Structure 1
């Protein structure tokens, strides 16, 4: 028996059993044609012993819908006629924040982890009674310069309050809040940013009045 490129060629008698490979093609002839003349000789019978078609299945994972949530940044600033140290210490008292921010209902510092605080928001707007909460990490502040935070769970948000001296008895307070637009409010996202900036501006006005009478042990 001789093999040529995966073909099994037999010159033995038809009555003699022939061992076949499953994937081979059997060529039976009484006389082989010379290598130089492959088309000379008797008719050859070619029979395939494997009729299975080789198929390749490509796995395509199901398409996942990608939802890109919109983030908005709101920044307001105001000059306040109190020393920068007073404004800084006043804003550092996080549990007193609901006294001037109308949409924040409560802020609680965790007793076992004072670097964490839990915030609650309750406000009626755009025909909805809005209620959200989040756990925030109070980042290391820079005295008389910056107070900042970021949420760890709940409503995604982050923010910073910056203080700039304007003299010995006044300072500029800049409040920046970035938040992910809740899905409930996505239809009114374009109106949400100016609405929140107006709320924050009103909050700074109330903060200015609060800071003028602020005492560290009165909060």
Structure 2
């Protein structure tokens, strides 16, 4: 499996950043390759993406969710991946958002893209887009504050 680690500082309180990240169905608004996310229940999501011109679908299970701290997941079907998003306050109005992902490139195109650093670049762009989205939004579009262990 390949892995990546990326962080970004966001000019919103940690609660605002976390609350927006829990709005999974909004991900296509700031994630370039994600076409659709359907929240099936509190712990399960169905993803549809266009990666390197190929349609990919998978389902994930949220394995841990602690408000204002972390959200961890793993795939239960489809494109294999797992990871964690961490939220760290950097004062009252600033957040460090860190993403650690492990993934299995499937097609030859995905493997070449991974070798060229395209996955890392896409995640970096998605984080920049999230930063712009939440900072310009002026607040979160919703929130889910329960815990999953």
TM-score range, shorter chain: 0.7 to 0.9
Which residue number corresponds to residue 202 of structure 1?
A: 125
Question: How many angstroms apart in 2 are the aligned matches of 1:187 and 1:78?
Answer: 26
Residue in structure 2 matched with residue 99 of structure 1 by the alignment: 29
Residue aligning to 2:102: 178
Deviations 1:4-45 (A, max 9, x none): xxxxxxxxxxxxxxxxxxxxxxxxxxxxxxxxxxxxxxxxxx
Q: More helix by proportion, 1 or 2? A: 2
Matched, 1:117 2:42: no
TM alignment of 1:47-196, pairs within 5 A? 71-110=1-40, 113-123=41-51, 125=52, 129-185=53-109, 188=112, 189-191=114-116, 194-196=117-119
What SS does structure 2 have at the residue aligned with 1:139?
A: strand
Moved more, 177-186 or 153-162: 177-186
Higher strand share: 2
Q: Which runs of 5+ in 2 are unaligned?
A: 143-149
Q: CA deviation at 1:72?
A: 0.5
CA drift at 1:114 = 2.9
Name the TM-score, length of structure 2 as normaliser: 0.86
User: Does the CA contact (< 8 Å) of 2:32 and 2:126 recur in 1?
Assistant: yes
TM-score (norm 1): 0.60
Give 4+ residue runs of structure 1 displaced > 4 Å after superposition: none
Q: Is the 8 A contact 2:105 2:111 kept in 1?
A: no
Q: 1:133 to 1:78 in 2, by over 3 A?
A: same
State the number of aligned residues.
Answer: 140
TM-align CA RMSD: 1.8
Deviation at 1:184, TM superposition (A): 2.8
How far does the alpha carbon of each residue in 1:143-168 deviate from its partner, in whole angstroms, 9 at most, with x for none? 11101111001111112111111111
Q: Deviations over 1:52-81 (max 9, x none)?
A: xxxxxxxxxxxxxxxxxxx11022111111
- Name the larger-Rg structure: 1
